[in-house]
């Protein structure tokens, strides 16, 4: 998985904005399908599984480029009445290497500057700094939150688990540059890998680096392993950390999320390091927490 030639297929799309349910954002935007960063744990591999597509090389070596994406988006934005939150990069990295050539993300941002919607972005791509000018324009009229995904600052772990993504150090530098431009940019430590990057020392190292690079926020997400993702993540463990494989298999047998008790322990660790480095929960994380609680509240209301 990862490394080796990547093939690009130019396709046209009928829609750009995808309606999303049960998330803190109302729409998602994904100008590419697949991602050449090739993270072994990438949840978007499961989207390919659900479409009957290959979840290995079919996901990370064969990228679909939706060449008319920004034009379609521009038209759709003009027809919107509600200014709801849109998320860029939920099923692909909008700043994977081919964005340098195709500029679909940049052109989508230009469309958003013309018809602004509040925006949240998630990326591991350092190319994000190229678009600082557009994020600054958009930030003047709507909320913009840029999450740079860094689950660990251990370069060996990052190189194995995220073989073709820029190294954590370069991602941190991107955070620093965006902050220097006055943007709301921070670190999303995601996903946290059980028994590998979930210790308090590991979370502390990421939070300390986030603070040192002036990140606006530090948040975490536990690992989720959908059926289409498991074989790829388990193959990575078998190759690099074989003693951890049985633990992971046991933890995720018959389930996609770790047990609640594990997640609570992880979140308590994250809260301690957040406090230590002076990070406070931002509006997006509060919204996300509220969303997560919503079904329970609904049940109580009934």
CB atoms within 10 A of CB 98: 20
Smallest separation (angstroms) from ligand SF4 to the CB of 237: 17
Length of the chain: 302
**x-marked contacts with ligand SF4 along 157-186 as a string, rule CB under 6 A:** -----x--x---------------------
Cα torsion 174, 178, 183, 189 to 10°: value is 10
Smallest separation (angstroms) from ligand SF4 to the CB of 165: 5
Contact 93, 37 (CB under 8 A): yes
Identify which of residues 77 and 150 has a Cβ nearer to ligand SF4 in the complex. Answer: 150
Rounded CA separation 69/202 (Å) = 39
Residues 60-119 that bind ligand SF4 (CB under 6 A): 92-93
| Nearest to 124, CA basis, from 161, 168, 83 | 168
Q: Tell me if 124 contacts ligand SF4 by CB under 6 A.
A: yes
Smallest separation (angstroms) from ligand SF4 to the CB of 33: 11
Smallest separation (angstroms) from ligand SF4 to the CB of 37: 4
Smallest separation (angstroms) from ligand SF4 to the CB of 276: 27
Rounded CA separation 94/65 (Å) = 11
| Nearest to 33, CA basis, from 47, 18, 19 | 47
Identify which of residues 39 and 175 has a Cβ nearer to ligand SF4 in the complex. Answer: 39
Residue 101 CA: distances (Å) to CA of 2, 38, 73, 98: 20, 19, 19, 5
Rounded CA separation 149/29 (Å) = 17
- Provide the token pair at 160: 């194995």
Smallest separation (angstroms) from ligand SF4 to the CB of 126: 12
| Nearest to 17, CA basis, from 100, 93, 83, 62 | 83
Identify which of residues 56 and 142 has a Cβ nearer to ligand SF4 in the complex. Answer: 56
Of residues 1, 6, 44, 185, which one binds ligand SF4 by CB under 6 A? 44
Of residues 16, 29, 39, 112, which one binds ligand SF4 by CB under 6 A? 39
Q: Which stretch binds ligand SF4 (CB under 6 A): 39-47, 48-56, 180-188, 268-276?
A: 39-47
Identify which of residues 77 and 147 has a Cβ nearer to ligand SF4 in the complex. Answer: 147
Contact 106, 131 (CB under 8 A): yes
Identify which of residues 92 and 216 has a Cβ nearer to ligand SF4 in the complex. Answer: 92
**x-marked contacts with ligand SF4 along 18-37 as a string, rule CB under 6 A:** -----------------x-x
Residues that bind ligand SF4 (CB under 6 A): 35, 37-39, 42, 44, 92-93, 124, 162, 165
């Amino acid at each position: 998985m990862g490394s080796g030639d990547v093939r690009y297929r130019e396709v046209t799309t009928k829609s750009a904005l995808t309606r999303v349910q049960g998330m803190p954002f109302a729409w998602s935007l994904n100008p590419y399908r697949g991602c050449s960063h090739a993270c072994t744990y990438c949840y978007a591999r499961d989207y390919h599984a659900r479409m009957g597509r290959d979840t290995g090389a079919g996901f990370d070596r064969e990228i679909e480029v939706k060449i008319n994406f920004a034009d379609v988006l521009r038209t759709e934005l003009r027809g919107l009445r509600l200014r709801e939150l849109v998320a860029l990069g939920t099923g692909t990295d909008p700043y994977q290497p081919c964005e340098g050539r195709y500029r679909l993300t940049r052109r989508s941002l230009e469309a958003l500057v013309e018809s602004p919607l509040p925006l949240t972005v998630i990326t591991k791509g350092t190319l994000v700094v190229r678009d600082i000018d557009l994020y600054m324009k958009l930030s003047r009229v709507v909320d913009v939150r840029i999450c740079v995904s860094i689950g660990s600052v251990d370069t060996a772990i990052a190189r194995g688990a995220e073989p073709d993504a820029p190294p954590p150090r370069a991602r941190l530098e991107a955070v620093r540059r965006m902050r220097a431009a006055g943007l709301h940019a921070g670190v999303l430590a995601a996903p946290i890998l059980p028994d590998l990057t979930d210790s308090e020392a590991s979370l502390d190292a990421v939070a300390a680096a986030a603070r040192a690079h002036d990140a606006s926020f530090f948040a975490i997400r536990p690992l989720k392993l959908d059926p289409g993702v498991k074989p790829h993540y388990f193959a990575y463990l078998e190759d690099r950390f074989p003693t951890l494989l049985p633990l992971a298999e046991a933890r995720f047998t018959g389930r996609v999320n770790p047990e609640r008790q594990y997640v609570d322990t992880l979140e308590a660790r994250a809260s301690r390091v957040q406090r230590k480095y002076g990070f406070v929960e931002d509006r997006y994380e509060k919204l996300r927490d509220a969303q997560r609680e919503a079904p329970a509240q609904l049940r109580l209301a009934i």
